[in-house]
Amino acid sequence: MNFQLLKDTVSLIFADDKGLLAMDESNGTCNKRFEKLGIPQTVESRRAYRELIVTTPGLGESIGGAILFDETIRQQKSDGTPFVKVLIEAGITPGIKVDTGAKELAGHPGEKVTEGLDGLRDRLQEYFQMGARFAKWRAVIAIGEGLPSSGCIEANAHALARYAALCQEAGLVPVVEPEVIMDGEHTLEQCREVTDKVLRTVFSELFAQRVSVEGMVLKPNMVLPGMSSGSQPTLDQVADATVSCFLRSVPAAVPAIAFLSGGQPAESASARLNAMNARFKSRLPWALAFSFARAIQQPALEIWNGHQANVAAAQKALYHRARCNQAARRGEYSQEMETK
């Protein structure tokens, strides 16, 4: 294992308070988002949209790494330049989603396990040769009546740890994403309890599989009440619950925590990340950063709407959200940034 390479990659992608841009929606997920806006669900539409993202002027000022999907890492700009080359020239490290999706977990109604370990060693070698320096694997944990089960948490944590060990062997930094999803009526406190249990199990499995936690990134959910709970916690409540949960369950040797946005409105995701950094940054052992998909892309996607004429305006919106989240890493984000 090239431990120095892993550490250097983490330092590079989070330097200058940058974060990750997740643009690794599978074809199915990307098509669903296009469908809602009436955008054609074709290979060419997906390519054109990803070209818009990777060619956004100045994106590398606030984005240190971009997570790609298998289709996208093999695509090019309309002039033939590979996306990987465009990203590297913009100072953005390419990453790759390597799981093959969350499938129904046998014997556990309402729960899922993420697949993709078969043949992973060979796929990682290929992605490394293509220029990827980090990878992502997302596990999904639902809260509900009697959920999550220990069986679901353990199966997902074990798969995450096996994936992470294979990544490190191949020279790729594993982004370890156990997502406690926001769907449901649960309280903030229930989310905190489940997130705590999930993270403890994940780190126990990572240690068992001899993953070096210094050479990984954790991509967790923020601690939030369920979307149908009707509860509106304050920024301070979210920041307190999230940070106190991580202080108990995430080893200090982990260099960076990069949140997923999970369906929060873009401005809420920035404000909550900002509250955590503004209040706690100087006392935390790990960097608190972002790895958002929807909370960076959604405004830009809606402006683009499939039309070439809207590309420049959409790129401006993407650049703006990326800058807001960089400011949130510094604890310097404010509502005024949105109206300026």
In angstroms, rounded to a whole number, what is the distance separating the alpha carbons of residues 262 and 12? Answer: 25
Q: Which is nearer to ligand 13P, 123 or 294 (CB)?
A: 294
Residue choice 260, 275, 301, 314 for contact with ligand 13P (CB under 6 A)? 260
DSSP string of 3-57? HHHHHHHHHHHHGGG-EEEEE---HHHHHHHHHHHT---SHHHHHHHHHHHHT-T
In the bound state with ligand 13P, the residue whose beta carbon lies nearer, of 34 and 292, is 292
Between CA 254 and CA 218, with CA 25 as vertex, the angle to 5 degrees is 5
Q: Which of the residues 278 through 307 are near ligand 13P (CB under 6 A)?
A: 292-295
Provide the phi-psi class of 101: left if phi over 0, else alpha when psi is between -120 and 50, else beta: left
In the three-class reduction of DSSP (H, G, I as helix; E, B as strand; rest coil), residue 238 is classed as helix
Least distance CB 138 / ligand 13P (angstroms): 4
The type of residue at 75 is Q
Is residue 112 part of the contact set for ligand 13P (CB under 6 A)? no
* Catalytic residue ranges: 177, 219
- Residue 15-44 contact track with ligand 13P, rule CB under 6 A, x = bound: -------x----------------------
What string marks each residue from 144 to 183 as x (binds ligand 13P by CB under 6 A) or -?
---------------------------------x------
- The pair of three-digit structure tokens given for residue 149, joined into one six-digit string: 């089960």
The binder of ligand 13P chosen from 50, 138, 320, 321 (CB under 6 A): 138
Binding test (CB under 6 A) with ligand 13P, winner from 93, 261, 270, 326 = 261
Tally of helices (H runs) and strands (E runs) in the chain:
13, 10
**Which residues of the chain form contacts with ligand 13P (CB under 6 A)?**
22, 138, 177, 260-262, 292-295
